[in-house]
Amino acid sequence: MHTMRCDACGISIVSLASGLLATGGLFLAVVTDFWLYTGEAITGTWTNPFNTSETIVFKTVVESHSGLWRACTFVMDQPSQCTNIGYFQTWERVDGGDTTNSIMRAIRKSSPVMVVSLLLLIVALGLSTVGNTKKDIKTLIGAVFYIFSALLLAIGVIFYISAVNDEVSHRKKPDNPEDPQFSYKYGWAFFFAGSSFMSSMVAAVANIALYVRRFPNLEDMASIVPGLEKKSNFDFSSTTSKLDEHDLDTGAQNPTIIL
């Protein structure tokens, strides 16, 4: 009995730690601006103030890092400039336009899914914590919310990756191979979202294991759900006693001869 209590305590710690990691990791990923790093060559012009007919065309690499709500750009050693992503703007794809801006337009469909996943994670963490404290069915309900949150998070990440790959594939190739190429890489917030998916699944498995360990019998499971025995019209204790009597009668009618 003492060993079982220690095992349940250890699983409870795993459940709580995994839930906190999943919720905290996804929260940081949603609110920060480090999902994607990009580098893109932008064509600019410079006009001589003393001779307006003299114009120089040049190319410079603009680097940026972006999240779900904001994008920050910087050139060389200049301070970064951050702008909010317009979620209520009509933003059509422009052939030959900046790939970075096109990506910001495309990723907007993944943000609501991430937010809903975060809300479900918070609910799952609360339910599982209360359920593990009171040792009731909230532990199992929390596991269900963890699973739903992980599935939504996976869908949101797939939307995000698809949006980035789609815009990069539509990018026009530079005429001169020596020109700076468009480059991108995923940031730490993106990987935080991936680790949040894994942590939420671990928390769900831990909650299910706790529920099964605490209520191994059907009678125990039914006792924690109010009114389940009345609705099912099933008396576990009487059924168990009848089964025992049936076993005794069967043993009496079919005696075993031991030589």
pLDDT digits (tens, 9 = 90+) for 4-41: 555 778 888 899 999 999 999 999 999 999 999 998 87
Range of the domain at 123: 2-214
Mark whether 39 and 166 lie in a shared domain: yes
Mark whether 146 and 244 lie in a shared domain: no
Whether 80 is covered by a domain: the verdict is yes
pLDDT digits (tens, 9 = 90+) for 238-250: 444 444 444 445 5
Mark whether 239 and 201 lie in a shared domain: no
Q: How confident is the model at residue 218 (pLDDT cuts 50, 70, 90)?
A: low
pLDDT digits (tens, 9 = 90+) for 122-179: 999 999 999 888 888 888 999 999 999 999 999 999 999 999 998 888 776 666 666 6
Q: Can you tell me whether residue 216 is helix, strand or coil? A: coil
Query: Does pLDDT of 235 surpass 70?
Result: no
Whether 34 is covered by a domain: the verdict is yes
Query: Does pLDDT of 226 surpass 60?
Result: no
Whichever domain contains 88, its CATH number is 1.20.140.150
Mark whether 172 and 111 lie in a shared domain: yes
Mark whether 145 and 247 lie in a shared domain: no
Whether 240 is covered by a domain: the verdict is yes
Mark whether 206 and 245 lie in a shared domain: no
Whether 258 is covered by a domain: the verdict is no
From CA 15, how far away is CA 38, in angstroms rounded? 37
Whether 49 is covered by a domain: the verdict is yes
Mean pLDDT, residues 70-91 taken together: 78
Mark whether 148 and 167 lie in a shared domain: yes
Mark whether 125 and 226 lie in a shared domain: no
Mark whether 138 and 30 lie in a shared domain: yes
Whether 257 is covered by a domain: the verdict is no
Mark whether 164 and 46 lie in a shared domain: yes
Mark whether 210 and 226 lie in a shared domain: no
DSSP assignment of 12-74, as one string? HHHHHHHHHHHHHHHHHHHHSS-SEEEEEEEEEEEEETTEEEEEEEEEEEEEEEE-SSEEEEE
From CA 107, how far away is CA 120, in angstroms rounded? 21
- Candidates 40, 90, 92, 88; CA nearest to 66 is 40
From CA 259, how far away is CA 248, in angstroms rounded? 22
Mark whether 145 and 245 lie in a shared domain: no
Whether 31 is covered by a domain: the verdict is yes
Q: How confident is the model at residue 252 (pLDDT cuts 50, 70, 90)?
A: very low
Domain count, the chain: 2
User: N- to C-terminal Cα distance for the chain?
Assistant: 40
